[in-house]
Amino acid sequence: MLSASILVACGGGSGVTLGKKIALLLPDTANALEIRSIFEANVTQVCSNCQVLYNTAKTDAEQQAQATTAISGGASVIVITPLHGATAAAIVTQAKAANVPVIAYDRMILNTPDLSYFVSFDTEAAGALEANALLTAMGTKVTPTIVELDGDATDPNNKAFKDAAASILKGKVKFGGQFDTPGGKLDAAKTEMETALAGLSYKVDGILAASDVIAGGAVAAMKGKVRPWPPIAGQGAALAAIQRIIVGDQYMTLYMSTKAEAQAAAQLAYDLAFGVSVPPSMTNGKTVNNGSVDVQAALLTPVVVTKVNIESTVVADGFWTSDDICTSQYASACASVGIS
């Protein structure tokens, strides 16, 4: 919900709408248009005369040029998912010089003291949620052996995920392997999992994967080689992961709602554009360090998805439709878990 203060700032209480420009700069990815649609809908809902300056980029130089154009074009605030968090600080510096606040969306901008806010999902909460779900799935086994497949070592979210998971798992499991997965890629995860399995005589009790792509690599490594099949925890609610869950190849995933994240960014952008005090509930005092300062952060909590709540989460939100999930290969499994 957009705050009542925003409605007043945009003229919602008087019927007068003041025009503002808000730049939304995203990487050229498959879900960019979906993010744009949700973001713009929330903008126009409360300020019909406001304009979203939307652009996508494939290179750092292209995104830098888009930011320059947005600033010179009168943007009051910039919401940006940097292509690379370590190279976008120049955009923040340029915006600061023009008194334009910058919100890092979904991916942190590193090593700049001038970033205004960060909107994303809570990586620490994700690590803890996954770890607890995996322990639940493994049940009453005493000190089960797990393999942990983390993200890329250069990803700033990787350490937070690992530390949060470790705080839950410490003393409760034995690690048969812990890996940082280069690029977070499936093939790299598959190779890591094969290495771990060889050292474990192909016996493992659970897999903690930092993403559904990485979980897919673990599945590929174990197929036809591991029995009994261990529970696998992942995150991202990828279509392949949802389908793996309904057939029993993956135990759970974490769902990060695109809608909720884009709505939060829209609310925060409005507050900054109109000079409205950001409600304390937006950040709850949370910060994320970007290598230079602790940045105020609106961090959303992911939702655990297992076969029992697929329909009430990712399907209900329209993230995936039942037709997406229940192709002919998965029709029987969908029926067995009540997805219609």
Quick count: other Cβ atoms within 10 Å of Cβ 221?
22
CA nearest to 126, candidates 92, 99, 161, 154:
161
Per-residue pLDDT tens digits for 297-307: 999 999 999 99
Walk along the chain (340 residues) and give the pLDDT tens digit of each residue.
344 444 444 444 444 446 899 999 999 998 999 999 999 999 888 888 999 999 999 999 999 999 999 999 999 999 999 998 888 999 999 999 999 999 999 999 999 999 999 999 999 999 999 999 999 999 998 999 999 999 999 887 898 999 999 999 999 999 999 999 999 999 999 999 999 999 999 999 999 999 999 999 999 999 999 999 999 999 999 999 999 999 999 999 999 999 999 999 999 999 999 998 999 999 999 999 999 999 999 999 999 999 999 999 999 999 999 999 999 999 999 999 999 8
Residues 6+ apart with CB under 8 A from 297: 117, 118, 119, 120, 283, 286, 287, 288
Rounded distance, CA 238 to CA 228, Å? 25
Q: Are residues 16 and 109 in the same domain?
A: yes
**What pLDDT score was predicted for residue 18?**
65
Whether 108 is in a domain gets the answer: yes
Tell me, yes or no, whether 133 lies in a domain.
yes
What are residue 305's phi and psi, to 5 degrees? Answer: -120, 125
Instruction: Confirm whether 319 is domain-assigned.
Output: no
Structural domain includes residue 232: yes
- Both ends of the chain: CA-CA distance in Å? 30
Q: Are residues 212 and 283 both part of a single domain?
A: no
Asked if residue 340 belongs to a domain, the reply is no
Predicted local distance difference test score (pLDDT) of residue 86:
84
The reply to whether 159 and 187 lie within a common domain is: yes
Whether residue 245 sits in one domain with residue 136: yes
- pLDDT 10s digits, 201-239: 999 999 999 999 999 999 999 999 999 999 999 999 999
**323 within some domain:** no
132 and 250 both lie in a single domain: yes
Q: Looking at residue 153, what DSSP letter applies?
A: T
Indicate whether 212 and 104 sit together in one domain: no
Residue 70 belongs to domain spanning: 4-115+257-300
249 and 280 inside one domain: no
Phi-psi region of 310 (alpha: psi -120 to 50; beta: other; left: phi over 0): alpha
Task: Clarify whether residues 239 and 271 are in a common domain.
Answer: no
Count of domains in the chain?
2
Cβ atoms within 10 A of the Cβ of 148, count?
27
Whole-prediction pTM value? 0.85
* 107 and 81, same domain (yes or no): yes
Domain boundary among 188, 222, 255: 255
Q: In whole angstroms, give the CA distance from residue 22 to residue 71.
A: 10
Q: What is the pLDDT of residue 4?
A: 40
Residues 15 and 51 in one domain: yes
Is 281 found in the same domain as 206? no
CATH label of the domain that carries residue 168: 3.40.50.2300
Same domain for 148 and 87: no
* Domain-embedded: residue 333: no
